């Protein structure tokens, strides 16, 4: 779907992006992660031609992105930028409707789409449609930015730290929402983040950059179990590898058939990391498990946190 080959970018003779190769399959959610200044935003901006690479090629759906004018390309690519970048003199509705208006959608369809997106991002339309960006909190502005990027149902979504300014609760809700949107729409997404836990949660493919180069790419398991260097090991947090591995699996994957166990239940959809926390906080060694309907589904024992040896 999206393919970068040997992409380089220099600013005043200084190399910001070095020989980046990257492939994102259709429907895949790829996460670019790395320290500040490692070239993540520059890489993202080259995909929609906000920045032109000095060498290398970038293809979207098999086609070189230089084969069409930037403004045509950008209608196919939703972009939520790091600094939000809403138009200050436009209302929330006008901001979200920017691309559908350019595409000359009928007015009724635009309104319907804006309302749908606002509800999706937990901003009640009645309250927010007519507001201006300065009348929103930072986190609300960020959510409007995400809605704007999604508005015209683009083929590819580029998101540069879209949840950066949010509190952990709202961030968690929107991360789940993004996973849901992606599962439903099969959208191809490239998301930039600083947060290793966000990368492990969201990234079907994780791409770690350092000083403009890709130092490792692979699945969350690859990063936790087979870090390619000491830099990667430090980045994923050596001392937390165990709990982060637990974060990749759900209670449902390890629970046993129903047995009578008392106490406050845990959801089958919770991660094993959450289960570990529950074991320790409640000082118990077994937890009753309930399904999405709240019905008893099984039991999880503390020892079940350890994977069965292959």
Task: Return the range that interacts with ligand ATP (CB under 6 A); candidates 37-45, 114-122, 175-183, 265-273.
Answer: 37-45
β-sheet with 205-210: strand ranges across:
77-80, 156-160, 188-193, 29-34, 205-210, 213-218
User: What is the Cα–Cα distance from 202 to 304, expressed in whole angstroms?
Assistant: 25
Decide if residue 49 touches ligand ATP (CB under 6 A): no
Per-residue string for binding with ligand ATP, 54-93, x by CB under 6 A? ----------------------------x-----------
Within a 10 A sphere around the Cβ of 244, how many other Cβ atoms?
18
Nearer residue to ligand ATP within complex by CB, 39 or 133: 39
User: What is the Cα–Cα distance from 176 to 124, expressed in whole angstroms?
Assistant: 19
Which residue from 26, 37, 176, 280 is in contact with ligand ATP, where contact means CB under 6 A? 37
Decide if residue 34 touches ligand ATP (CB under 6 A): yes
Contact 53, 7 (CB under 8 A): yes
Decide if residue 40 touches ligand ATP (CB under 6 A): yes
Residues at the contact surface with Mg ion, assessed by CB under 5 A: 41
Contact 160, 192 (CB under 8 A): yes
Query: CA angle, 303 as apex, 297 and 304 as ends, to 5°?
Result: 40
Decide if residue 36 touches ligand ATP (CB under 6 A): yes
Contact 2, 23 (CB under 8 A): yes
Nearer residue to Mg ion within complex by CB, 41 or 217: 41
Decide if residue 41 touches ligand ATP (CB under 6 A): yes
CB of 259 vs ligand ATP, minimal distance in Å: 48
Q: Which parts of this chain interact with ligand ATP (CB under 6 A)?
A: 11, 16, 34, 36-42, 82, 194
């Amino acid at each position: 779907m999206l393919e970068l080959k040997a992409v380089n970018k220099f600013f005043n003779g200084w190399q910001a992006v070095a020989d980046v190769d990257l492939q994102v399959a259709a429907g895949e959610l790829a996460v670019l992660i790395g320290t500040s200044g490692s070239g993540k935003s520059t890489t993202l901006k080259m995909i929609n031609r906000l920045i032109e690479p000095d060498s290398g090629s970038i293809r979207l759906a098999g086609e070189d992105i230089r084969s069409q004018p930037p403004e045509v390309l950008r209608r196919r690519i939703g972009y939520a930028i790091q600094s939000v970048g809403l138009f200050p003199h436009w209302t929330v509705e006008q901001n979200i409707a920017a691309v559908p208006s350019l595409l000359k959608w009928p007015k009724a369809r635009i309104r319907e789409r804006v309302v749908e997106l606002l509800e999706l991002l937990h901003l009640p339309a009645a309250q927010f449609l007519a507001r201006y960006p300065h009348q929103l909190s930072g986190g609300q502005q960020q959510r409007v930015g995400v809605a704007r990027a999604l508005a015209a149902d683009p083929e590819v979504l580029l998101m540069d730290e879209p949840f950066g300014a949010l509190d952990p609760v709202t961030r968690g809700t929107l991360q789940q929402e993004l996973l849901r949107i992606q599962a439903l729409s099969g959208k191809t997404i490239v998301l930039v983040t600083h947060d290793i836990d966000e990368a492990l949660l969201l990234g079907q493919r994780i791409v770690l950059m350092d000083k403009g180069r890709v130092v490792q790419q692979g699945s969350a398991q690859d990063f936790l179990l087979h870090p390619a260097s000491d830099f990667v090991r430090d980045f994923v947090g050596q001392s937390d590898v165990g709990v982060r591995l637990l974060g990749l699996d759900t209670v449902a994957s390890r629970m046993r058939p129903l047995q009578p166990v008392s106490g406050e239940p845990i959801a089958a959809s919770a991660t094993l990391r959450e289960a570990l926390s529950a074991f320790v906080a409640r000082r118990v060694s077994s937890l009753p498990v309930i399904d999405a309907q709240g019905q008893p589904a099984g039991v999880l024992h503390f020892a079940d946190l350890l994977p069965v040896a292959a």
